[in-house]
Amino acid sequence: MKTDFAKAFRVIRAAYGMQQAELALQIGISASQLSLIEKGKRQPSLKVVGGLAAAVDAPISLITLLASDPTDIADEDISSLAAPLLRLLVNAPENPQRPLQLAQGQ
């Protein structure tokens, strides 16, 4: 299974309208480390992925889903993750303070 945690981190951060420095502080890493993860130059450790999950109150499995290649996900996996995905979307602010920016390094 191919995972793109860079995409997952960018999407989640954008959904919450957070700057890299804000999210990095909540995760417990440096902004430069988060920048490298979001650029795909570093893979996050399980501890860092867990920190992201805790920061946004989402299950690690949801972050893994966001990082997964769509062709690698079976229909039954999607069904079991539908509720956590909905919770993440409901908890995210409807209108983030900052515009969504998915470009790397934002």
Integer CA distances (angstroms), 39 to 44, 60, 106, in order: 11, 20, 10
Q: Give pTM, 2 decimals.
A: 0.69
- Give the model's pLDDT for residue 101: 43
pLDDT of residue 36: 97
pLDDT value of residue 90: 64
Contacts of 18 (CB under 8 A, 6+ apart): 98
Neighbouring CB atoms inside 10 A of 87's CB total 14
Average pLDDT, 10 consecutive residues per value, the chain (106 residues): 84 89 95 96 94 89 82 64 64 54 41
